[in-house]
Structure 1
Amino acid sequence: MPITFRVIQETLRVASILSFTFREAVEDVEYEGYLIPKGWKVLPLFRNIHHSPEIFPDPEKFDPSRFEVAPKPNTFMPFGNGTHSCPGNELAKLEILVLLHHLTTKYRWTIVGTNSGIQYGPFALPMNGLPIRLAQKL
């Protein structure tokens, strides 16, 4: 299910489960002219990385084809990164695949009302909810 997997990856990019995390600088770091002293707490914002036009061109467009080639290291981190990465991330992606398989093969679904976009605060959610109607396929 490679196309479905790319849809999941793009969904996780657009609407990350993990918006940010806390880290501590283990040494003095200069970043874009600013000094981050050793011991300071930093707050990487994954949404800013995932929506950066330098990393993901046209970042507001939903485009699963972005993941036909693996993204560069440290540019796609929906479950964190490195030793602090969520240990259940592969299981979570597998569960999403199984859910989508059953929803698309066994049910017809239609949006009730209008789709009015995404709100961020702090997690990505459909604006005003996203009610759907499910009907079992016969």
Structure 2
Amino acid sequence: MTTKRSCNVILESLRMASIIPFTFREAVDDVEYKGYLIPKGWKVMPLFRNIHHNPKYFSNPEVFDPSRFEVNPKPNTFMPFGSGVHACPGNELAKLQILIFLHDLVSKFRWEVVGGEGGVEYGPFPIPRNGLLTTFRQHSL
């Protein structure tokens, strides 16, 4: 697998199961949004999962499709680590750690999910419904 494809898998994984499900921000000015007034000083809570699963920005949002990242998403539609001045300063390190983990998992182990897949539950962080029983066997050297 090429590095670009591996990175696309990581980005799609982050889109599907956001590390940060939401955050809080404060309106610095009065803002009108879809006919509603958000007064200056009010707290707002962007829900990243709702943005990442919006069919307006990502076609078939419930389908795992790393190829969607062959083209950069529109600004402010993909924010797994926040954005702007509030973005996580360690986001590139986190993606590198995920890449190394996946490389080792795939290249050094044979693994298999035991039992049926139950989907993902959000409360508020994404976790496998009914757990994720998996067996791992190290490759023979």
TM superposition score normalised by structure 1: 0.98
1:25 pairs with 2:27: yes
Q: RMSD of the TM alignment (CA)?
A: 0.6
Aligned-pair CA distance for 1:93: 0.2
Q: Deviations over 1:48-105 (max 9, x none)?
A: 0001010111111111111001111111000111111111110000000001001101
Secondary structure of 1:62's counterpart equals coil
Runs of 4+ in 1 over 3 A off after TM superposition: none
Within 5 Å, give how 1:103-118 maps onto structure 2: 103-118=105-120
Aligned-pair CA distance for 1:4: 1.1
Q: Deviations over 1:17-38 (max 9, x none)?
A: 0000000001111111111111
Unpaired stretches in structure 2, ≥5 consecutive residues: none
Task: Show the counterpart of 1:7.
Answer: 9
1:44 pairs with 2:51: no
Distance in structure 2 (CA, Å) of the matches to 1:58 and 1:30: 30
Aligned-pair CA distance for 1:114: 1.2
1:89 pairs with 2:91: yes
Task: Show the counterpart of 1:129.
Answer: 131
Aligned residues: 138
Secondary structure of 2:73's counterpart equals coil
